[in-house]
Amino acid sequence: MTNIIDIVQSQVISSVKKLEDLDKAIKSSSNITFILTGNLTTTKHYIDQLKKANKITFIHIDFIDGLSNTKSAIQYIAETWKPDGIITTKSNLIKYAKEEGLMTIQRLFLIDRNALKKGIDIAHSCKPDAIEVLPGLMPSIIDELTRLTLLPIIAGGLISNKEEIMSGLQAGALAISSGNPELWNLDL
């Protein structure tokens, strides 16, 4: 199985939240794209377009309209849509996706210290390929996370400029996900 650290060429990940940004992600220098929009009839087309442009593609399955949180949904995604991986907040879906050979990213919302501790415990038990932490504007927390886990850290959420990206990377994040197309061509 592919190691997520090995696939990161651009440390800025394009995070497509609106269909009109899909073409911008395709043309960007970012080699990894997170799809955070779509439904049962559109998502495969988005994945196919991105793969045709040689983008490594992850779908955030919690945001795809019409999907259920079941093992059979993950099997369908793996066999029919064929993304490189999934993003989810649900640890049981991480397990199912790994069984199907998909890369996995566990998304954690860090609202307080308890959420940080619980998130790390969950990630260590379900063993995703990486953790995406939100909000990403917390260099000291990113630094702390890199000492609490060997899992690669992706920071995202509320990132609005290059300085915030650099701050997250300097704190130890492997990459930064951003929904802002203006940041997708920074060549980091």
Which tens digits make up the pLDDT trace of 6-61? 999 999 999 999 999 999 999 999 999 999 999 999 999 999 999 999 999 999 99
* C-alpha distance from residue 26 to each of 14, 23, 84, 96 (Å): 9, 5, 16, 28
Does a structural domain hold residue 143? yes
Amino acid type, 66: G
What average pLDDT score do residues 79-98 get? 97
Does a structural domain hold residue 188? no
Does a structural domain hold residue 68? yes
Q: Residue 52 sits in which domain range?
A: 4-183
Does a structural domain hold residue 76? yes
CATH no. for residue 43? 3.20.20.70
In the chain, % helix, strand, coil (3-state, to 5) comes to: 45, 20, 35
Residues across the chain? 188
As for how many domains the chain has, the answer is 1
Mean of the per-residue pLDDT values of the chain: 96
Does a structural domain hold residue 142? yes
**∠ CA(121), CA(1), CA(54), 5° rounding?**
110
Does a structural domain hold residue 107? yes
Q: What percent of the chain has pLDDT over 90?
A: 95
Q: Model-level pTM?
A: 0.95
| Confidence (pLDDT) at 69 | 92
Closest residue by Cα to residue 140 from 128, 155, 129, 125:
155
Closest residue by Cα to residue 159 from 10, 4, 15:
15
CB 89 within 8 Å of CB 115: no
Closest residue by Cα to residue 35 from 9, 7, 65, 15:
15
Does residue 122 have a pLDDT over 70? yes
Does a structural domain hold residue 56? yes
